[in-house]
A and B are shown apart, each in its own frame.
Chain A
Amino acid sequence: MKFSIVIHGAPWSSSASHSALRYAEALLECGHEIVRLFFYQDGASSGSSLCVPPQDEINIPEQWQVLINKHGIDAVVCAASALKRGILDAAEADRYEKNAHNLLPGFAVSGLGQLIDAAGQSDRVVSFVQ
């Protein structure tokens, strides 16, 4: 079956991103397909390459990146959510004349329309709220 997952909370300030990660892993283990991961609101922080948690804590963005790249999952950070929280890819950094970019490879910046599009292609949409 086809699933999309919406992540509303930021790693460490909410459990949403961590729970969604566990759920996504279970989906794939059960043989299901992930149409899209959509990181909305604070969830966009899950795409940051600059998180440095203590060594005995899980690095949630890094684990997302591993999962996304291993399985070729379509992972979108909501553009409006990401930009205002300082999550930028190279193109956005260039466009807004910022001196750095920090979006993890495997994630893409796109609009909220991608959530509606994903829902239309999925048997289930599961949200992990703040």
Chain B
Amino acid sequence: MSKLIEEQPLDIVCVTCGIKLTLGKVELSYLGSNFPVELYRCSQCGLVYVPEELANGKMKKVEAALEDK
């Protein structure tokens, strides 16, 4: 789960901090399991970006697997 996302030419900006999101370490958790992953996030305030494909793809699969554990 550590490699959730590939580096891609994103042009997403944190409106509060006015800086472009970059890949960085983000902590995700579900049902008592924690996993550090790399996601695009604002290096200043930590606001995270989860793209639609990730939410509906890999994240759904991991959710389902953890729910059946």
Q: Say whether A associates with B.
A: no
Residue ranges of B at the interface with A (Cβ–Cβ < 8 Å): none
